[in-house]
Structure 1
Amino acid sequence: MSGYRHPKSTALDCLLSSFQMTNETVNIWTHFLPTWYFLWRFLLLSYTLDFLGDSYNWPLLVYMMLICLYPFTSSFAHTFSSMSAHARHICYFLDYGALSLYSLGCAFTYGAYVIPDRWVNGTLHRYYVPIAAFNTFICTGLSCYSRFLEVDQPVLSKVLRTVAFVHPFVFDNIPLFYRLFFCFGEGCNWNEAIPLHCYHLFFAFLTGFLFASHLPERLAPGRFDYFGHSHQLFHICAVLGTHFQLEAVLTDQSSRKAWLSLYSETDSLAITLGVVATAVIGNVILICFFTATLLWSPRANSILQNNIPEEAKAKAH
């Protein structure tokens, strides 16, 4: 209801707004600070693990790079989204692309360390990461397209954006769901990582719930404009979920190393980098396509004109 920045702020205004109280301030910091936390964890791991020489660690290397990318991109998007109507949508196109690539990073580690013993080298295991790479295109494409429907078809826009992120999450977690709910006896890997995986799933559920429900602000409009609205809580739950996911992956990675190194077939560095590069290039192309559509398509005029906070609500800085 209030707390909006001016919809045509300068880049400097946007940077300064991160130190002023608006309805985006907490959104910015709840992902900017975790970026540095994950970078710190990445640095510590680089001292103890051979990321380049040991092929067993390559999936973890990809994952660590991408869990540093997605909160930084989100923080960047929330910081600079008020520069213009064009900037707002382009910032979130980038945000969606980073989240899609994060889902690929999850697939790399789940396919390498979380997958049940009985699935290792099976059909799903062989095609798991390539399918996850393809899912990034679906995720980015649907979520970016959903922005063009916000004004005319808001419900469909919300449904498409929710599906865009639920789909790769469900696919990435197939090995974990099987391990938790359908796998019994030998080869199911019930180890100390299981509680950590459960914490991750709990916070992932909360993240999705908050994103879809817009609670608590819908129950008391105006009371949570600066603190406590769903997007802030959504950010916090997402970061906590990623933290527990990282701890669970590291636990599986270390405790299962002897068996997996002996029996699991690892991809070459060229294949690993090729999959990552293909996903990155494909997502960049999609983002460029939607950006071009936004800039030059007459159909984009409705969201450019109607998706700006009213001047009366805007707070100039």
Structure 2
Amino acid sequence: MATTLQLYHVSEIPSFFHELYIHRGYRHPRSSVRSCLRSCFYLHNETVNFWTHFIPAVFYLFVLVTDCYQYNLLLDAYGLPMLAYLISMTLFPTASALAHLFNTISEKARHMCFFLDYFALSIFGIGTAIAYHAYSFPVALISTWWQHLYLLVAVVNALLSFVLSCRTRFLDHGLRKKMFRILSFAVPYLFDVLPVCYRAIHGDVVDFSLGGMHYHVRQSVFAFLSALIYSSHLPERLSPGRFDIIGQSHQLFHVVSVMGTHDLMTGMRMDMLQRRQLMDAHQPSYSILLMVAVVGFNLVILYYFWMQLDGVILKSTSSEDLTKLNNLCNGAGLTNGKSGHHLIDRQLTNDVSRRSKLRPHVE
């Protein structure tokens, strides 16, 4: 059994696996499942990304189980929106951790890993909206057209968020890709948080005396910071190669977003307990069904993008990328099929070679 994990420089691996301003610490782009699992115990440029979401996922699972028993969420209809929120809150760091762990199996697996990551974020968005609607809605807006339309718009936002975030994976690195990716997450969040913003601006003294508002406000600060960190690529932008293993922006983004999620969970729980007399009579009976519907529609969307992958990978793979893959696989002894790694797809090699002969000026 190997005692070390071989890592690669950005110049050695295909461009599809590159991360902006990260130069070292890349794993083999044809890693096996076993190799990926083993890699979480070694330092590479995804190790901290994995653990900063895997540990919170385990904690959130513990919270989900304990809250179900403590607050009778399964049997009390008033607790069902909180149950939906806690499930979605547990799913998104779990999907993220697994995506960062297994994204080096192949190009197709990398796409699917992050498709599932975006899937979970979409579910988290609708789960958050369901909980806001059930526990945190302003008293002045209860039974208004705004409350009646809130969940419907949140469903549309969650679905569009998933479509747009998946679509960005087919775009080249650049400002347009970054803007669309940020918008796909920012728009649903900004809409979902509107009820709390209204309470913060127009709420009365009694509303502010409830402990949940403090956590909602602080969560908004963490959300702003996480968006800033994610979009800026700081600090690695200032010193490429220095923060490859520890300290890169995506790791900081994970930490800050988890802190914000914890505050959101705490504020939501306090609203559930302290505002029951206000909110219990206004619970819609279909809120959980909306979350199930989003899961169903997202599965259809996921299948659509899955069917696009072969063509997208062929179009984006250059002969230089194939040369790098060949060199890596030959260097790792992956030519006889006995390794746990996957060999280069022969059909992809033939298709890229044929494309290069037909259009030699295209890379």
TM-score, normalised relative to structure 1: 0.91
Corresponding residue for 2:70? 48
- Alignment equivalent of 1:258, drawn from 250, 256, 277: 277
Superposition deviation, residue 69 in structure 1 = 0.5
Moved more, 207-216 or 187-196: 187-196
CA distance in 1, matches of 2:272, 2:120: 24
Q: Does 1:214 align with 2:210?
A: no
* 1:71-86 mapped onto 2 (5 Å cutoff): 71-86=93-108
Alignment equivalent of 1:277, drawn from 282, 292, 317: 292
Deviation (angstroms), 1:304: 4.5
Residue 29 of structure 1 aligns with an amino acid whose one-letter code is W
Matching residue within 34, 38, 44 for 2:56 = 34
Counterparts of 1:98-109 in structure 2 under 5 Å?
Answer: 98-109=120-131
Question: C-alpha offsets along residues 3-52 of structure 1, whole Å, 9 cap, x if unaligned?
Answer: 00011111111111111110000001111110110111111111211223
Write the letter of the residue equivalent to 1:226: I
Give runs of aligned pairs for residues 66-215 of structure 1, distance below 5 A: 66-151=88-173, 154-181=174-201, 183-185=202-204, 188-215=207-234
Alpha carbon RMSD of aligned pairs, Å?
2.2
Q: Is the 8 A contact 1:15 1:79 kept in 2?
A: yes
After superposition, the C-alpha distances for 1:111-158 in whole angstroms (9 at most, x for unaligned) are 11111111112111112112211111100100000111125xx22111
Distance 1:156 1:313 in 2: 31
| 1:186 to partner: Cα distance | 6.6
CA distance in 2, matches of 1:313, 1:203: 41
Check conservation: 2:132, 2:192, Cα contact below 8 A. Answer: yes
1:197 to partner: Cα distance:
1.1
CA distance in 1: counterparts of 2:136 and 2:204, whole angstroms: 16
Letter in 1 for 2:180: L
Question: For 1:207-246, what aligned pairs fall within 5 Å after superposition?
Answer: 207-246=226-265
Q: How many angstroms apart in 2 are the aligned matches of 1:131 and 1:276?
A: 13
What per-residue deviation string (whole Å, max 9, x for no partner) do you get for residues 153-191 of structure 1? Answer: x2211111110000100000010111113x043775552
- 1:62 Cα deviation after fit: 0.3
Q: Quick one: structure 1 residues 196 and 184, their matched pair in 2 at CA, closer, same or farther if it must change by over 3 Å?
A: closer
2:41 equivalent to 1:19: yes
2:268 is the counterpart of 1:249: yes
Corresponding residue number in structure 2 for 1:267:
284
Higher relative contact order (CA 8 A, sep 6+): 1
Q: How many residues align?
A: 307
Cα distance in 2 for partners of 1:293, 1:82 equals 19
Q: 1:148/1:95 Cα in 2 relative to 1: closer, same or farther (>3 Å)?
A: same
Distance 1:184 1:245, change over 3 A: closer
Q: 1:180 to 1:304 in 2, by over 3 A?
A: farther
Q: Which consecutive unaligned segments of at least 5 residues does structure 2 have?
A: 1-22, 333-340, 342-363
The Cα offsets for residues 264-291 of structure 1, whole Å up to 9 and x where unpaired, read as: 42122xx233211210011111111111
Q: Residue deviations 1:42-87, cap 9 Å, x none?
A: 1111121122322111110100111010000001111110001111
Residue 10 in structure 1 maps to residue 29 in structure 2: no
| Mapped partners of 2:134, 2:208: distance in 1 | 14
User: Do the aligned residues in 1 keep the contact of 2:229 with 2:252 (CA within 8 Å)?
Assistant: yes
Matched, 1:292 2:307: yes
- Give SS of 1:5's match: coil
Note the residue ranges of structure 1 that are not aligned, 5 or more in a row. none
AA matched with 2:98: F
Larger Rg: 2
- Letter paired with 1:284: L
CA distance in 1, matches of 2:262, 2:36: 28
Name the aligned partner's letter for residue 67 of structure 1.
M
Counterpart Cα distance in 1 of 2:187 and 2:316: 26
Q: Distance in 2 between matches of 1:188 and 1:260?
A: 13
- Is the 8 Å Cα contact of residues 164 and 181 (structure 2) preserved in structure 1? yes
